[in-house]
Amino acid sequence: MGFNTKFIFITGGVLSSLGKGLASAAIGALLESRGLTVTIQKLDPYINVDPGTMNPFQHGEVFVTDDGSETDLDLGHYERFTNAKLGSNNNFTTGKIYHSVISKERRGDYLGGTVQVIPHITDEIKDSIMLHADTVDVVIVEIGGTIGDIESLPFLEAIRQFRADQKKEDVLYIHLTLVPYIATAGEVKTKPTQHSVKELRSIGIQPDILLCRTDRFLSKDIKKKIALFCDVGVDAVITAKDVEHIYEVPLVFHKEGLDDKIVELLNIWARAPRLEPWEELLEKLQHPQHAVNIGIVGKYVNLTESYKSLNEALCHGGIPNNCKVNLLFIDADKIGETNCNKVLADVHGVLVPGGFGQRGTDGKILAAKYARENNIPYFGICLGMQIAVVEFARNIAGIAGAHSSEFDKKTPHPVIYLMREWYDDKTGTMQKRDIHSEKGGSMRLGAYPCRIQPDTLAYKAYQTDEISERHRHRYEFNNEYKMKLEQSGLTFSGISPNGELIEIIEIKNHPWFLGCQFHPEFKSRPMAPHPLFRDFIRASLEYSKKDQ
């Protein structure tokens, strides 16, 4: 076919949650550290066309890419670990594949043929993988789900065929399994791995490398046993040991010889890895000098998966401040008029994250008020900015009954509302949005430019006057109230280039109170912490010192 791209397929066995997404991201990081370019793609077996409509309780966070795709949260790991630029071509679901095949069938593209899983669905899957051919040195493809699920079969069949279509040395299969330690027997057990590989082989895939998730380094004998039963080289049995910090994973994999094995099997000539940045990062994470408690006042508080990127961005914000960031998840529903001081007693910074739906709104407004009145740093993200605007309008600007029309359709003062028509700077077209817009189809999604006003907290953080950040919301600030709120002391420190959309607000005479309409957490990286998170943590650290 005439391209030089290599492909690595990563499957998972035994059970879910073994960290396949992180493993894929860490492999990407290792290959980049050897001077190779990579991209990472996730193939998800579920039928939703994308995770945009999925409940974060069930599926975790929806990660948004620059191009406005709503994707699986694993893409967040991929972006945080590598320099890959991800977009809609990096996440395919069964739903998206079928959607495309069925559209082609309706258009008559199959010329009257019977449309079948093999070859039509499997071809569509292979085509989606091939979209990345020739764009990078190595394409890493993570297959969602666990071997044995019926949903993932077409994907596995497609990747099986893939090696037959290409040169053998261009394709590599890596399988992640579990090697549990059984306390009563006093040893690790290899049987689940043997069974999982047997299952994989029964559908025609012989793994080349096994990543064995376990709580201890595997002895040579255990590795030999696994190698023998699973028909891989002993040096292709890699211990994927539990770690304290996720950013340790590339280093552990490297110590186990994973990147050497990958480049050997794929016959790639690559330089020795440069892992100093990862080592330095880990050193900083392991030895912080300070600690702060950040209260995250939200709805999905019992499931940290829902705020994956946020949690990571907060951790990144601690790094340049030499500071460990403790996350206190606070259920907004538990906050009432009289208990704010108790619920938020140990908190050095309040963060109200993005969210949808009515539940917890009053508690979030009270938390914003408490932070404002007590000079506690406040960071409002998307919904958190809207909440801050509502609170300010009601309690400072004296606009009684001010609310977001998302939560009170009949509010006399919709300071946050559905903008019916707006000029999209990105596409140069007018966009329409109203109450009847299709759910999932009417959001402002992806990267938008924003101008930063001088002499503001935002400018202090970004040190530049034009930025680009990612959005995922329907509601906007209502410009009818701009003048009144400005007169009352609200600063509009980030505005779209055409002046129409308010993107950042802040309050003067407060150590650090800022709300942004976008989601900065999606762009934070461990090696390049997001400036707003960095400054929020710095302000929280200062507050914590005052506290003592």
Task: In angstroms, give the least distance from the CB of 406 to ligand GLN.
Answer: 5
Give CA–CA dist 95/49, Å, rounded.
4
Catalytic entry in 132, 157, 521, 530: 521
Q: What Å distances lie between residue 178 and 149, 185, 259, CA to CA?
A: 17, 17, 20
CB of 394 to ligand GLN, least distance (A): 18
Q: Is 325 helix (H, G, I), strand (E, B) or coil?
A: strand
Polymer length of the chain: 548
Q: Which range touches ligand GLN (CB under 6 A), out of 222-230, 349-357, 366-374, 529-537?
A: 349-357
Q: Are 377 and 350 in contact (CB under 8 A)?
A: yes
Rounded to the nearest whole angstrom, what is the least distance from the CB of residue 354 to ligand GLN in the complex? 3
Catalytic residue list contains 230: no
CA-CA distance, 391 to 368, in Å (whole number)?
7
Q: Decide if residue 475 touches ligand GLN (CB under 6 A).
A: yes
Smallest distance, ligand GLN to C-beta of residue 477, A: 10
Taking CB under 6 A as the criterion, the residue among 26, 84, 171, 383 binding ligand GLN is: 383
**Phi, psi angles (nearest 5°) of residue 404:** -90, 135
Touching ligand GLN, residues 406-445 (CB under 6 A): 406
DSSP characters over 82-103: S-----GGGEEEHHHHHHHHHH
Check if the beta carbon of residue 180 is closer than 8 Å to that of residue 13.
no
**Whose Cβ is closer to ligand GLN: residue 238's or residue 419's?**
419
Q: Does 484 bind ligand GLN (CB under 6 A)?
A: no
Q: Is 533 in the site for ligand GLN (CB under 6 A)?
A: no
521 binds ligand GLN (CB under 6 A): no
Applying CB under 6 A, which part among 151-159, 326-334, 471-479, 525-533 lies near ligand GLN?
Answer: 471-479
Q: For the chain, how far is it from start to end, CA to CA, in angstroms?
A: 67
State the minimum distance, in angstroms, from the CB of residue 380 to ligand GLN.
9
Asked if 494 contacts 516 with a C-beta cutoff of 8 angstroms, the reply is: yes
Nearer to ligand GLN among residue 81 and residue 475 (C-beta): 475
Least gap, CB of 383 to ligand GLN (angstroms): 3
Annotated catalytic residue within 382, 471, 473, 530: 382
Stretch in the footprint of ligand GLN (CB under 6 A) among 63-71, 113-121, 423-431, 468-476 = 468-476
- Residue 472 sits in the site that holds ligand GLN (CB under 6 A): yes
Residue 473 interacts with ligand GLN (CB under 6 A)?
yes
Per DSSP bridges, beta strands 490-495 and 476-477 are: unpaired
126 class by beta-carbon count within 10 Å (0-12 exposed, 13-18 middle, 19+ buried)? middle
The nearer residue to ligand GLN, 203 or 418, going by C-beta atoms, is 418
- The least CB distance from residue 444 to ligand GLN, in Å, is 8
Q: Is 382 a catalytic residue?
A: yes
User: Is residue 390 involved in binding ligand GLN (CB under 6 A)?
Assistant: no
Kindly give the pairing relationship between strand 237-241 and strand 290-298.
unpaired
Residue 332 engages ligand GLN in binding (rule: CB under 6 A): no
Token couple for 123: 């071809």
Q: Strands 429-432, 476-477: parallel, antiparallel or unpaired by DSSP?
A: unpaired
Out of 189, 324, 359, 474, which residue is the one contacting ligand GLN (CB under 6 A)? Answer: 474
Would you count residue 516 as binding ligand GLN (CB under 6 A)?
A: no
Nearer to ligand GLN, 357 or 497 (CB): 357
E strand or H helix that includes residue 533: helix 531-547
Instruction: Determine the Cα–Cα distance for residues 174 and 161; give it in Å rounded to an integer.
Output: 16
Cis-peptide, bond into residue 119, ω within 30° of zero: yes
Q: Is 354 in the site for ligand GLN (CB under 6 A)?
A: yes
> Using CA atoms, how far apart are residues 60 and 28, in angstroms rounded to an integer?
22
Does position 356 interact with ligand GLN (CB under 6 A)? The reply is: yes
CA atoms within a 13 Å half-sphere pointing along the CA-CB vector of 505: 31
- Residue span binding ligand GLN (CB under 6 A) among the ranges 179-187, 201-209, 268-276, 469-477: 469-477
Question: Of 202 and 358, which has the nearer Cβ to ligand GLN?
Answer: 358
Burial 507-527 (b: 16+ CB within 10 A, else e): beebbbbbbbbbbbbbbbebe
Given the residues 316, 348, 473, 519, the one annotated as active site: 519
Instruction: Please name which of 407, 502, 517, 509 lies closest in space to residue 471, comparing C-alpha atoms.
Output: 517
Looking at the Cβ atoms of 251 and 367, the one nearer to ligand GLN is 367
* Nearer of residues 383 and 537 to ligand GLN, judged by Cβ: 383
Q: Does 382 bind ligand GLN (CB under 6 A)?
A: yes
Shorter beta-carbon distance to ligand GLN: residue 369 or 473: 473
Rounded Cα gap, residues 278 and 276, in angstroms: 5
- Closer residue to ligand GLN, CB minimum distance, 20 or 364: 364
What is d(CA 484, CA 200) in angstroms, rounded to the nearest whole number? Answer: 65
On the 0-12 / 13-18 / 19+ scale of CB atoms within 10 A, 485 is: buried
Q: Which two tokens stand for residue 211?
A: 């990543």
Check if 283 is active-site: no
Q: Which are the catalytic amino acids?
A: 382, 519, 521
Binding site for ligand GLN (CB under 6 A): 354-356, 382-383, 406, 472-475
